Structure 1
Amino acid sequence: MPYKKAEQKFSGKINACEIGVGDAAISIGGENSLPFLGTEGFKTAVGIAISDTTDEWSDCFGTIYGDDLKNPAALAKAAVEKSGADFLLIKLESADPNGADNSVENCVATAVAVEAAISVPLVVEGCKNADKDAKLLEKVAQALEGKNVVLFSAVEDNYKTIGAAGGMAYGQKVAAESSVDINLAKQLNILLTQLGVKGKDILMDVGSAAVGYGFEYVASTMDRIRLAGLGQNDESLQMPIMTNISGEAWGVKEAVSTLEDAPEWGDQEARGVGMEVSTAAACVVGGSNAIIVRHPESVKAIKSLVAGIIG
C-alpha cells in the first residue's frame, strides 16, 4: 500500500524575513506548516559563528584557521569559504565590561571590517551585557546602515534602544532574546512592535542548550511557539526563529575535555562536532529557521541534513 503523507492545515503563517542585500540576501521563514510536513518546502538557513576573541576556542580551530584566528575579518572570510555557510555571525565578545572591555568604537570597526570581508549576510552579536550591548548594537546599526544586518539580540533591558536604532532608524533586523520561555518571547515581540518595529523585521532568539543538558525545555518551547503561531494564528509568535548553538555545544564537557583528560571518549574535535550537529539537528526539526554553528564541518552536515529531508 503506497504511503500518503497526511498534511495538517493551519490558519497561521510564519513571517518571511529577509537579511542581507543584493544577490547575497536570503529569506528565512515564510512557512505555513510544522517543519518538513508541508508542501511549501521548509528549510533552514545555516550560519557559521566567529568571535573577536577566540583564546578559549578548542585547539582544532587553530589547525583549521591558523593565524586568521587573530584577525576577525580574515577569520570571517575563511569561515565562509571553508564552510559554505549561508550567513555569518560575529560575536563582539571583547566588548564585555567584565572582560576585555573593548571600546564601542573598536568593536564597531571590527563589525564593519567583517561585513566588508564576506559576501553573505551578517549577524552581529553583542557581549551579553545589556547596557554595553545597547550602546554597541546601536552604533553597529548606524555604521552598517543599508546592509540589512541582524542585531543579535535585544532583551527586556535594552530593547527600546536596539529596537529603535536597529529596526527603525537604521533599517536593520532585530532578534529578540527570551531565554527558553514562550511567555517572555511573546512579551518581547509585543513590546518591540508597540515600539514601532515591524513584525517582518523581528526574529526570535528563543535560546538553546546542548543536547543532554536540558534540551527538552528548548524542544517544548519551540513546539509551543510554532503551534501558537500556526494553529492559533498568534501574530506575536509568527516571527522566524534564529538559534545560535555554537557556544552551548562547544562549552560542555564532551567538547571541552581533551583527549588526554578523557582518552576513552576519543578525538576531541569529533566530539565537539558531534555535540554541535546533534544540537543543531534537534533545533532544525523543532522549527528553527536559521541555525548557527562554529565548525565548518557542522555547517556542511546540517545543510546536507536539510537537503536530504526536503528531497
Structure 2
Amino acid sequence: MPFNQKPQKFNATINTVEIGCGEKAIKLGGESVFPFYTFDGPIDNAPKVGVEISDLGLGDAVPGLKEFYGDAATPAEMAKKAEAMEGADFICLRLEGGDPNGENKSVEELVAVAKEVADAVTCPLVVEGCKNVEKDADLLAKVADALQGKNVLLLSAREENYKAVGAAAGLAYNQKVGAESAVDINLAKQLNVVTTQLGVKAESIVMNVGTAAAGYGYEYVVSTMDRIKAAALSQDDAMLQMPIITPVADETWNVKESMASEDDMPEWGSKEERGIAMEIMTASADLAAGSNAVILKHPQSVATISKMIKELV
C-alpha cells in the first residue's frame, strides 16, 4: 500500500526579524513549519551561522583558531577575517572584558571597541554583553546608541535588566533586542510579555532560550525548544513566535571534553578536534530543535554547519 504523506500546515508563522543593513542583511524566522520540515512547506529564511569574536582577543585559543586569525591584533581586524570565514552570515562580538570579576574594562572602552568592529565589517553584527546584568544594562544601552543605523542585535536583555536594555535597543535607538532566559518555556514567554509591554515590538525581539553542550543535560534544551515551536505554530502563541538565536561556542568550548589537555587525557585525542566535534554536535542539535541561528567559533565548525543547513533547506 503506497504511503501518502499529508503536509502538516499551520496558520501561524514565526516572526521575521531582520538584522544588519544593505545586501548582507539577514532575516531570522518567517517559517510556518517545524525545523527543516521542508516537506511540509517552504523555509524561505534558512537558519544562519554567526562567528564569535571577543574584545579580549584569542587568549588561550586552540592552534587552529590562532592560525586562522594570524596577525590580527585587534577585535576589528579579527572581525574582518571572521566575516570572510566560509559559511559565516554574521559576526557576534562578545564584550566579556567588561566583567567586573575579570578585566573590568570601562563601558566607554567597550563601546569604542564595538564601534570599531561595526565600522570594520559589512555583515550584520550581534553584540553580546559581559553577562553581568548591572554592567550590561549600562553597556548595551550605550552600544545601542553608538551603533545607531547599524540595525544590530543586542544580547541580552534578562529579567533583571530588560527595561534598560529593551528601552535603549528596542525603543530609543531602533535596534533588535535579544531576550535571554534559562532553558524554560515559561521564563521565555514571560520575558517576551514584559518586554512587549515595555513597548518593544514583537518583531524586534529574538529569543536566546539557552543551551547546553551536547551530553550535559541536553534533553532540557530539546524539550524547551520543541515546546516553544509547537506552541508558536500549533497554538498560535504570539508571545512565543520570536525566532531563536543560540550562542553555542561559549558553552561547547568550556566543557572538559574541549578543555582537557592532550597531556592529561591522551586517550581522548586532539584537543582541537574534540572542541570542533562538540561545537558541531551541539549546533546541529540546536538547529534541529528549533534555533534559527547559532553562534560558533571555529572555522571548521562554521563551514560544516553552513553546509548542513544548505543541504537540508
What TM-score do you get using the length of structure 1 for normalisation? 0.96
Q: CA deviation at 1:297?
A: 1.1
Q: Give 1:260's match in structure 2, choosing from 263, 271, 293.
A: 263
Tell me which amino acid in the other structure corresponds to 1:255.
S
Q: Distance in 1 between matches of 2:8 and 2:224?
A: 20
Q: Give 1:165's match in structure 2, choosing from 140, 164, 168.
A: 168
Equivalent position of 2:140 in the other structure: 137
Q: CA deviation at 1:82?
A: 2.6
Tell me which amino acid in the other structure corresponds to 2:69.
Y
Q: Answer whether contact 1:58 1:256 (CA < 8 A) is retained.
A: no
Equivalent position of 2:127 in the other structure: 124
Equivalent position of 2:215 in the other structure: 212
Q: Which sits farther off after the overlay, 232-241 or 82-91? A: 82-91
Q: Secondary structure at the match of 1:291?
A: strand
2:63 is aligned with 1:62: no
2:28 is aligned with 1:49: no
Q: Distance in 1 between matches of 2:223 and 2:287?
A: 13
Equivalent position of 1:39 in the other structure: 41
Q: Unaligned 5+ residue runs, structure 2?
A: none
Q: How many residues align?
A: 309
Equivalent position of 2:86 in the other structure: 83
Q: Which sits farther off after the overlay, 149-158 or 258-267? A: 258-267
Q: CA deviation at 1:58?
A: 2.9
Q: CA deviation at 1:3?
A: 6.3
Deviations 1:98-146 (A, max 9, x none): 1111000100000011111112100000000001000000000000001
Equivalent position of 1:14 in the other structure: 14
Distance 1:200-1:64 versus aligned 2 partners, 3 A rule? same
Q: CA deviation at 1:5?
A: 4.2
Deviations 1:216-265 (A, max 9, x none): 10000000000000011000000000000101111111111122222211
Tell me which amino acid in the other structure corresponds to 2:214.
V
Equivalent position of 1:188 in the other structure: 191
Q: Secondary structure at the match of 1:35?
A: coil
Equivalent position of 1:101 in the other structure: 104
Q: Distance in 1 between matches of 2:304 and 2:64?
A: 17
Q: Distance in 1 between matches of 2:146 and 2:201?
A: 21
Q: Distance in 1 between matches of 2:92 and 2:5?
A: 37
Q: Unaligned 5+ residue runs, structure 1?
A: none
Q: CA deviation at 1:157?
A: 0.7
Q: Distance in 2 between matches of 1:164 and 1:89?
A: 21
Q: Secondary structure at the match of 2:84?
A: helix
Q: Distance in 2 between matches of 1:232 and 1:3?
A: 28
What TM-score do you get using the length of structure 2 for normalisation? 0.96
Q: Give 1:281's match in structure 2, choosing from 266, 280, 284.
A: 284
Tell me which amino acid in the other structure corresponds to 2:232.
G
Tell me which amino acid in the other structure corresponds to 2:41.
T
CA RMSD of aligned residues (A): 1.3
Q: Answer whether contact 1:48 1:83 (CA < 8 A) is retained.
A: no
Q: Distance in 1 between matches of 2:21 and 2:143?
A: 16
2:308 is aligned with 1:305: yes
Q: Answer whether contact 2:47 2:309 (CA < 8 A) is retained.
A: yes
Q: Distance in 2 between matches of 1:239 and 1:164?
A: 18
Q: CA deviation at 1:85?
A: 0.5
Q: CA deviation at 1:4?
A: 5.0
Q: Which sits farther off after the overlay, 183-192 or 32-41? A: 32-41
Pairing of 1:107-118 with structure 2 (within 5 A): 107-118=110-121
Q: Answer whether contact 2:151 2:174 (CA < 8 A) is retained.
A: yes
Q: Answer whether contact 1:11 1:232 (CA < 8 A) is retained.
A: no
